[in-house]
Amino acid sequence: MPGSKPAGANAERKFLARNRKALHDYEVLERLEAGLALCGTEVKVVRAGHASIANAWAQIDKNTGEAWLCGVNIPPYGFGNIFNHESSRSRKLLLHRKEILRLRAHEERKGCALVPLSLYLARGRVKCELAVCRGKTDVDKRETLRRRESDRDARRAVAERAKGRG
């Protein structure tokens, strides 16, 4: 599957920003890695961990066929000059043509959205983990919480049982 990574791929990643609310609000259907077209001062701010992707989304421009990351907040660089970057501009996502076409097909389906899950460093480059998501209902959110709670209780019971035997 294009965009999928081998099991040990997370070992080389340094996470810079995460969108935790996305996993609560959306059901992830597919994940892929995309590069970001950033200017120099933006890279310095993102590497310092000051970027926010809490309200971000991605979209495919129908006229040009390019993928854009919107709603990302990267504050101005503190030691920058008059040529500092704009904090809330849209940033271009660097994807292959086939990946863009597949994402456009997902985006056109009813109820699907392109949501960034994290920004991270991979081999010295800033990357974005992009996900095709479907919105969760309140019932789905409660079910997820219930399942997480029962898994936690089961792990606790196993740990107590192992402690009692040891």
pLDDT of 19 above 60: yes
Number of domains into which the chain is organized: 2
Residues 37 and 82 in one domain: yes
pLDDT band at 93 (very low <50, low <70, confident <90, very high): very high
Return the higher-pLDDT residue of 97 and 39.
97
Within-domain flag for 6: no
Residues 94 and 150 in one domain: no
Say which CATH number the domain at 95 has.
2.40.280.10
Q: What is the mean pLDDT of the chain?
A: 86
What is the DSSP pairing of strand 13-18 with strand 125-135?
Answer: unpaired
Enter the pTM of the model: 0.74
Within-domain flag for 121: yes
Predicted pLDDT of residue 142 = 87
Which DSSP state fits 34? E
Residues 98 and 141 in one domain: no
pLDDT of 106 above 90: no
CA distance 86 to 102: 30
pLDDT of 7 above 50: no
Domain around 154: 137-166
Which DSSP state fits 73? B
pLDDT of 1 above 90: no
pLDDT of 131 above 80: yes
CA distance 101 to 46: 28
